[in-house]
Amino acid sequence: MRLPTPPVDRSDDRAQVVAWVREHLGHLASDDVRASSVRGGQSAADAALAALDVTGYAARRSNVLPESSRGASRLSPYIRHGLLTLPSVWEAVGDAPYRDREKFRDELMWQEYSRHLYARVGKANGAPLRFETPVPVPGSAGSTWSGDPWPREMACMDATVGELVEDGWLVNQTRMWLASQWAVRAGADWREGEQRMYRNLLDGSRAANRVGWQWAAGMGTGKVYGFSRWQVEKRAPQLCARCALRDACPVQDWPEAQSGAKVDGPADLGGGPTDGGPTEPLLTGEPEAVWLTAESLGTDDPALAAHPDLPAVFVFDEPLLAALALSGKRLVFLAEALAELGSSGELEVHLADPVAELSGRRLATTWTYVPGWKKRSAALDVVALHPWPWLRRPGSGSLRSFSAWADRSHAGGNRGRSGGSRGRSSQRAR
Ligand SMILES: Cc1cc2nc3c(=O)[nH]c(=O)nc-3n(C[C@H](O)[C@H](O)[C@H](O)COP(=O)(O)OP(=O)(O)OC[C@H]3O[C@@H](n4cnc5c(N)ncnc54)[C@H](O)[C@@H]3O)c2cc1C
């Protein structure tokens, strides 16, 4: 079904674009459709990048409350959907103080690493990579936890789950609290927690979300991240002060949990070819339209930039969205990006199965690292395939360790401190 192009809505309440999503996609949303405080669209992405100042980032990245103390950039929804590329964000912090710049770039490298991993092992990133799921020590709280793994009567869980559900975005620190509370302390199935987080995040990606959960729960390194009152007192002390359970805190002490047994994981984790897509445009015919995907919704999308006179087409994948049941906030974010693309050139928006909708058309598109895209594009007539803007082109080396991968990937002159924060061995490191 062809949909009208979403309206450009620069009002504060964004009522028009919310109404558009409710009318055309509301049946696919998991909640009442509303707008997040992070606005979608290229102008909002460009404004966020122009305002980016990472001074103090290294010290403040993990701050949670007060919000004014946070050092996080909130660029992730734009990066996730290709409105900002990793190379452009990397370049933007070139003049920042050394320590902040290196820390920030290290995090961009985590994003790139998760994409390389996804490009290499595909959906196998959803199964334990190197160690089984964590095991609560018998007799400890985790072995007897019952009820919601994210209990809202704890002020720290209430604030964090509330922000996830109401705004669709969290700082890295509270994502770790949630993952650890769910999988390590409550001993619940991490795949269900990962799904619940993914569904609500504006930046939800199978690449980064699964890496985040794998590392927090110890499946990536064999070292679990333990969540306890200590982090809350350090990062958001006002939460403990107002908590009804402050004198009977269920997370007062460190969780008693150990990582699971070693697993073989994906065979190619230790090395093997990675499909990184073409390095130059692959042209086998004359395209008639540019197929845009949720990975690349920026005005600088390589295929769009190469074929500015062709109509662009975006298909909301109805069967996929029905299965994912995403939050309406993500759909608003996507609609805002499309609205802007539609205001600067011809754009068709459809709600359909992309393969059924696009078959028979000669397409130009941008390669992406996502298995679902590979499957769909193989069934379509892609006659102009444009390269993905990698930060580091995937190689064939081991992806077992982020640090080792990052050391290999840092080109001369770009050497940053590697060994990303989640690789630390101590549960108390943060
Ligand atoms: C359990 C868990 C789940 C996560 N799920 C996602 C997800 O679905 N999508 C997602 O993009 N990120 C995810 N992350 C990574 C990280 O938390 C977010 O990218 C970051 O919090 C986004 O906020 P920001 O843009 O302010 O980040 P900043 O701290 O300002 O960092 C700048 C950019 O670097 C990248 N980045 C930063 N930290 C990480 C990281 N640890 N791993 C990968 N990339 C990083 C992001 O692209 C981010 O936008 C997850 C982390 C954990 C622990």
Tokens read off for 241? 């002060």
80 lines ligand 1 (CB under 6 A): yes
Residue 114 in contact with ligand 1 by CB distance below 6 A: yes
Structural contact between residues 173 and 235, judged by C-beta atoms closer than 8 angstroms: yes
Domains and CATH numbers, the chain: 128-258 (1.10.579.10)
Gyration radius of the chain over CA positions: 22
Question: Nearest CA to 129 among 189, 223, 219?
Answer: 219
pLDDT tens-digit profile of 76-123? 999 999 999 999 999 999 999 999 999 999 999 999 999 999 999 999
| DSSP state at residue 265 | -
Closest residue by CA, ligand 1 atom 34: 108
CA distance 215 to 197: 15
Structure tokens at 302: 């390589």
90 lines ligand 1 (CB under 6 A): no
Are the beta carbons of 384 and 283 closer than 8 angstroms? yes
Q: Are 412 and 406 in contact (CB under 8 A)?
A: no
The whole-number pLDDT of residue 424 equals 27
Is any atom of ligand 1 closer than 6 Å to the C-beta of 201?
yes
**Residues facing residue 291 across a β-bridge:** 313, 365
Tell me, what's the pLDDT at 140? 65
Query: For residue range 261-316, what is the model confidence (pLDDT) as tens digits?
Result: 999 999 999 999 999 999 999 999 999 999 999 999 999 999 999 999 999 999 99
- C-beta of 61 in contact with ligand 1 (< 6 A): yes
Contact status, residue 254 vs residue 428, Cβ threshold 8 Å: yes
CA 294 to centroid of ligand 1, rounded, Å: 18
Q: How far does the centroid of ligand 1 lie from the alpha carbon of residue 4, in Å?
A: 33
Residue nearest to atom 24 of ligand 1 (CA): 74
Residue 418, pLDDT score: 32
Could you say which residues of the chain have pLDDT below 70? 137-144, 411-430
